[in-house]
Structure 1
Amino acid sequence: MSSLNFPFEFRSDEKENKKLRKYFIGTTWTQELVWLLVNDLDYVKAAAEPLTSRYTFIEFPMFMNKDSVSELKSVSKHNEEWKKLIDYFSKPGSEVIAEKPSPRFIKTHVPMSLLPPHLLDIAKVVYVARDPRDVAVSFFHHNRLFKMTHFVGDFKTYWHFFVRNMVLWTPFFDHLKEAWDLRNHPNLLFLFYEDLSKDLPRIVRLVADFLGKEYNDEQIADLCSHLHFENFKNNPSVNMDELKELDLYRPNFIRKGKAGGWREYFDDEMTQEAERWIMDNLKDTDLRFPSAQ
């Protein structure tokens, strides 16, 4: 649930008893953070391999129906390598995962209730939540960006759909509260995107500790520089350029990464509606979103 969405990812490690250990996280930003922390800050490998290859987006193939795959393959500019890439993105995520060596990184927007029931017994989970108003703005742009969804209306129309649970991966608050209720489990780390924006070094150390990794101050500073938005948005390995080549989305994937940017999109009526909607949905929980300031 962050950035566009309600996502998290996982990476699995096989122990001697073949027990799986997995790491779930949120946004593209956090994907890069966790991958680098787990892989001993291997920036060279991260730059050489796109994030879509490092992570399997487990439910992405649901967008790739037979007609769309056939249409993509019929485009003359796609050579055999690109056709293999189309096959990769349309293959069931479970099959792709099974073929990859450990450690495996897997991305999903699926809520906790639809994941394996004993997930926290065998996995470490990092869940990133974000103010739903910023989520709606980000997801609005995402739905305009990707040709599989290709939303063509204005934001006010999209907001109407979002709060009425008429877009993918909603209802928002059910998704969020499932993870919040599990926040004290030793294998779940619940983070807010706003905290990542305000104090990235602290969050990097927190995530590193959760993942059992230790880095010195200089290494943390270098990682934060790598993840700084101005650097991150120009990083081709995280911008899904390979999907752009397949004509599946319009550039650029990394947009603004701004907390509190929803204010630029909401009129007074929408602001009041959002406040009521948030208040109504949080009245039975102690969950509160941090200030974006």
Structure 2
Amino acid sequence: MASSQQDPLPEPPPYVKYQGILFPGLATKESLEAMKTFEIRDDDVVIASYPKSGTMWTYHIVDEILEGKRDVSATRVMECHVPQQAPAHLQYRKTPSPRLMQTHLPVQLAAPGLSTPANKVKIVFVLRNPKDVCVSLYHFEQANPLLNTPESWEQYTKDFLDGKLQYGDYFDHVLGWWQMKDDPHFLFIKHEDMKKDFPSSVKTIASFLEKELTDEHLARVTTNCSLERMRKSLSDVAGKKNIVRKGIVGDWKNHFSGEESAKFDQKYRERMAGSGLEFEFE
């Protein structure tokens, strides 16, 4: 006789500490170690970011520009190992070129072909203001059974500022990659700019990918890659339905107290000073 009670959700895999940085259990030590010898091909395109900065959105945009027609619901983060599947890096090794891949790794742990790129590899790095990243990560971790459920919003904001969340300190991560801003293999694009002028951002990405867009192709990209379209297409996909929540700029104002906001502002000023990197927060 079937139980009338729902089966309890499985415990998320324990987080992994690797070279001083905390990673979700999906980023196994074996996969993280494998990045040291993971070969980046000449025609690879890689979307890199701190988590919840607009990675999947950008992946979808790039795929539409390149007309790759990949199954966006089956995208894999290269350093992760989803249960009942082969590690992502092994799957990618068998993927025919040209490959479109994702990573959330800090620059010092990324595959050598990304941290010191050569030839024609292209890396699109997506940036988003830290307050909205914190809110998006908080809700994502609440909804994802493979991640630890946050203890409370108050504790989460403290852990974020202390760099004690998955993938480590936000500022270390972003500024580490930002050192590559003058490298022609990189395009740095901001979530806030994509929200403000989506067609212009699509053109910028297409130009970086050396892909000419007709007016018809541009219209197709902006239609197919709207956040609302993505939310609908991923809503019934296991493990993907919580990826797109709001995607707006300034949602942090619905969550932060005045004191929390002030602490973030102070940290932001301290860490970003002199970097040339600035964000819009609303």
User: TM-score band, normalised by the shorter chain?
Assistant: 0.7 to 0.9
Q: Distance in 2 between matches of 1:173 and 1:152?
A: 20
The answer to whether the 8 A contact 1:124-1:187 is kept is yes
Classify 1:152/1:281 alpha carbon distance in 2 versus 1 (closer, same or farther; 3 Å).
closer
Tell me if the contact between 1:29 and 1:227 (Cα under 8 Å) persists in the aligned partners: yes
Residues 280 and 19 from structure 1, CA distance in 2 versus in 1: closer, same or farther, beyond 3 angstroms? closer
Partner of 1:161: 159
For 1:1-293, list aligned pairs within 5 A.
Answer: 19-25=41-47, 26=49, 27-39=55-67, 45-46=69-70, 49=71, 51-53=72-74, 55-61=75-81, 69=83, 86=84, 88=85, 91-119=86-114, 120-122=117-119, 123-236=121-234, 239=235, 241-243=237-239, 251-292=241-282
Does the 8 Å CA contact 2:134/2:160 hold for their aligned counterparts?
yes
Offset at residue 93 of structure 1 (A): 2.2
SS of 2:201 mapped into structure 1? helix
Residue type of the alignment partner of 1:243: G
The whole-number CA distance in structure 1 between the counterparts of 2:110 and 2:227 is 31
Counting matched residue pairs gives 234
Where 1:242 maps in the other structure, the secondary structure is coil
Kept in 2: contact 1:179–1:190 (CA 8 A) = no
Question: TM-score normalised to the size of structure 2?
Answer: 0.77
SS of equivalent to 2:76: strand
Gaps of 5+ in 2: 1-39, 50-54
Q: Distance in 1 between matches of 2:228 and 2:276?
A: 34
**CA-CA distance at 1:223 after TM superposition:** 1.4
Shift of 1:150: 3.5
Counterpart Cα distance in 2 of 1:20 and 1:263? 43
Q: Bigger CA drift: 193-202 or 93-102?
A: 93-102
**Aligned CA distance change for structure 1 residues 56 and 232 (closer, same or farther; 3 Å):** closer
Q: Secondary structure at the match of 1:230?
A: helix
CA offsets per residue over residues 167-210 of structure 1, 9 Å max, x none? 11121111111222211111100111100110110010010011
- Does the 8 Å contact 2:129/2:281 carry over to 1? no
Higher relative contact order (CA 8 A, sep 6+): 1
Cα–Cα, structure 1 residues 157 and 105, in superposed 2: closer, same or farther, change >3 Å?
A: same
* Runs (5+) with no aligned partner, structure 1: 1-17, 70-85, 245-250
Give the Cα separation in 2 of the matches to 1:240 and 1:186. Answer: 38
SS of residue matched to 1:218:
helix
User: What per-residue deviation string (whole Å, max 9, x for no partner) do you get for residues 245-275 of structure 1?
Assistant: xxxxxx4431100111111100111011111
Kept after mapping to 2: 8 A contact 1:56/1:105: no
CA displacement at 1:105 relative to structure 2:
2.1
- Displacement of 1:213 after TM fit? 0.7
Deviations 1:22-53 (A, max 9, x none): 212251110100111112xx6xx45xx3x242
Q: In structure 2, do the counterparts of structure 1 residues 252 and 59 end up closer, same or farther at CA, with 3 Å as the change threshold?
A: same
- Contact conserved, 1:240 with 1:253, CA < 8 A, in 2? no
- Equivalents in 2 of 1:96, 1:199: separation in Å? 35
Larger helix proportion of the pair: 1
Aligned-pair distance for 1:118?
4.3
Deviation at 1:291, TM superposition (A): 4.7
Aligned amino acid, residue 224 of structure 2: H
